[in-house]
Amino acid sequence: MSYRKRIAALMLVDSLIVLTAIFISHFLLLPLANPFTAILFVSAIILLVSHHVFAYKYKLYQKVWQYASISELTGIFKAITLSIIVTGLVQLLFFQEIYLRTLTITWMMHVLFIGGSRFSWRLVRDHYINPAPPKNQKNTLIIGAGAAGTMVARQLQQSQESDMNPVAFIDDDTTKQHLEMLNLPVVGGVEEIVSTVERLKVEHIIIAIPSLSRKELNTIFEECSKTKAKTQILPRIEDIMSGKVSVNQFRDVQVEDLLGRDPVELDIAGIKDYIKGKTILVTGAGGSIGSEICRQISKFEPAEIVLLGHGENSIYSIEMELRRTVSDLTISTEIADVQDREKMFSIMSARKPHVVFHAAAHKHVPLMERNPEEAVKNNVIGTRNVAEASSEAKVNTFVMVSTDKAVNPTSVMGATKRIAEMVVQHMDMISDTRFVAVRFGNVLGSRGSVIPLFKQQIQAGGPVTVTHPDMVRYFMTIPEASRLVLQAGALAEGGEVFVLDMGEPVKIVDLARNLIKLSGYTEDEIPVVFTGMRPGEKMFEELLGADEVHSEQVYPKIYRGKTPEVNINVTYELVGEFEGLSKDQLREKLLDIANFRVGEFRVLSGVK
């Protein structure tokens, strides 16, 4: 039915109800009296006109009544009530009396018949147009009986294509428990998940609480994982509202959802202030962290992004992605190794970047244990080359990506990253460029993360290997780690080490078990095997050493650490002599330098 025909039909139905209701009301009260009096005739005309005026005001003819709800009923109530009041005022003004009982019955008949005519459309749609759910649908439990949960339930009930049949709600709100919503019982709180799944033969669980913190999601998922039901989560509300996905396009719960810590909100204005209109250079731009830094930078309207990396394929990949997603972005590429000192100075001189994000590094702990000389070349010498070239090119801000393994390091990788921090700290003292470092824990999904390894092991049928049952790590997502790096540049005054309040550390074995469950397996099918700690590994990591901690936050959930004073001569002596050392000697030397302070440096180096 066309828009105009639809409005004409609704107005005709309303007109018939309005004109007949007042006469029927008069007849019910005074069945023997003459209904065709002047006051009733005028009242009918006024009632008809005022009803259409208020119906237009409250858009009763523009509503999609097959989706009618309380708000539509409220509009009907207001329009009818106001039209009755206007009619009563006209009766009083021109006839000096009000047919109060007649108008009261008329009001009730209007609410009944006009409201009924609208809501009957929804009744017809729900019970006659849309067939009953097929019997082969999966019984579905919805966690969350709020606005999102009821939206999901209604969508599933109305959808002819969905294979899910909602059977109950779970909600911790005690005022809703043991009641019904959309003809579905609210059976209880989170503690009732397991028993409800068994009792109602639930095959699917939908978590529909957008406001959940990650800690709360962990608690719910832990209960859901005790059942055999498939667990999914509602898409993000902004994705639903923007039309990217519909409400019934649920997604699987990801490891990132279970970190137990909410993302840090960043100072967007501060970041944009030092990036917009500037040339930004990123080393290691093809890596997991470096490429995400480039994606984040592209949102802040830089004049140019220079992608510097050693691997041509990875640089080409991020270049093509950025050109596809940000069409007006100026992008330059440099295939170069940070160990090539002359090339670094040449690039910095030619590009003259305003900000340098130094993400190039060797990060794999066991590999660097076996190849300590390569860790020195890339992590120490490479950092020194890029830092000194940045200083000479008068770069405004230099941000180095570091790691929690640089704190009291026990591995070659951690030691070389700590020494790289020393280089950066020294450069800040002698240069006009602001030099800072950013430490964070393990990054989910990065090339050095355990997550890809665990996924490969699960796909291969297991087992999933974990080094020690008590080993814990801090975790964050790649986008969050990259945004922290950008935020550090905005906060930088020079010489700081910024760290993120990463919440509670996560047991690696718990992470492995969650991944097994998220992949649809049990530990009986994919076992977890403990292999023993590898060389250089620690049982737990720290983000700041005891003598580095500044208790105040410089930004919500971001702390500043001031690393202790170091003797840079020892570091640079190492650079000159490392090729003459055996692997074991080099490893020992690196750990000595990274873990000792100024006074002890002097003893080690013979400096008085």
Distances (CA, A) of 348 to 300, 338, 385, 394, 467: 22, 12, 11, 9, 42
Nearest to 443 by CA among 477, 484, 486: 477
Helices and strands, counts by H and E, the chain: 22, 22
Contact (Cβ atoms closer than 8 angstroms) between residue 503 and residue 559: no
Residues 6+ apart with CB under 8 A from 480: 263, 264, 500
287 burial type by CB count under 10 A (0-12 exposed, 13-18 middle, 19+ buried) = buried
CB hemisphere CA count around 302 (13 angstroms): 29
CA distance 70 to 63: 12
Q: What is the three-class DSSP state of 34?
A: coil
Contact (Cβ atoms closer than 8 angstroms) between residue 502 and residue 543: yes
DSSP code for 300: T
- Phi first, then psi, for residue 395 (nearest 5°) are -60, 140
DSSP code for 186: B
Please, what is the Cα angle at 588 between 582 and 591, to 5 degrees? 140
Please, what is the Cα angle at 471 between 465 and 473, to 5 degrees? 105
Contact (Cβ atoms closer than 8 angstroms) between residue 398 and residue 526: no
Contact (Cβ atoms closer than 8 angstroms) between residue 211 and residue 144: no
Catalytic residue among 363, 377, 405, 589: 405
Contact (Cβ atoms closer than 8 angstroms) between residue 404 and residue 542: yes
Catalytic: 5? no
Using H for helix, E for strand and C for coil, what is the string for 533-588? CCCCCCCCCCCCCCCCCCCCEEECCEEEECCCCCCHHHHHHHHHHHHHCCHHHHHH
CA distance 78 to 81: 5
CA distance 202 to 208: 16
The number of angstroms, rounded, from the C-alpha of 21 to the middle of its chain's C-alpha atoms is 55
Residues 6+ apart with CB under 8 A from 426: 566, 568, 571
| DSSP notation for 224-251 | HTTSSSEEEEPPPHHHHHTTSS-TT--E
Per DSSP (E only), the strands in 368-446 are 397-401, 434-439, 442-444
CA distance 318 to 291: 6
Residue 356 pairs in a beta bridge with 281, 398
Residue with tokens 């003893």: 603
Nearest to 588 by CA among 603, 578, 575: 578
- Phi first, then psi, for residue 326 (nearest 5°) are -130, 85
Between strands 472-473 and 434-439, the pairing is unpaired
Task: State the first-to-last Cα distance of the chain, in angstroms, to the nearest integer.
Answer: 95
CA distance 77 to 544: 64
Q: What is the three-class DSSP state of 457?
A: helix
Q: Which residues are catalytic?
A: 405
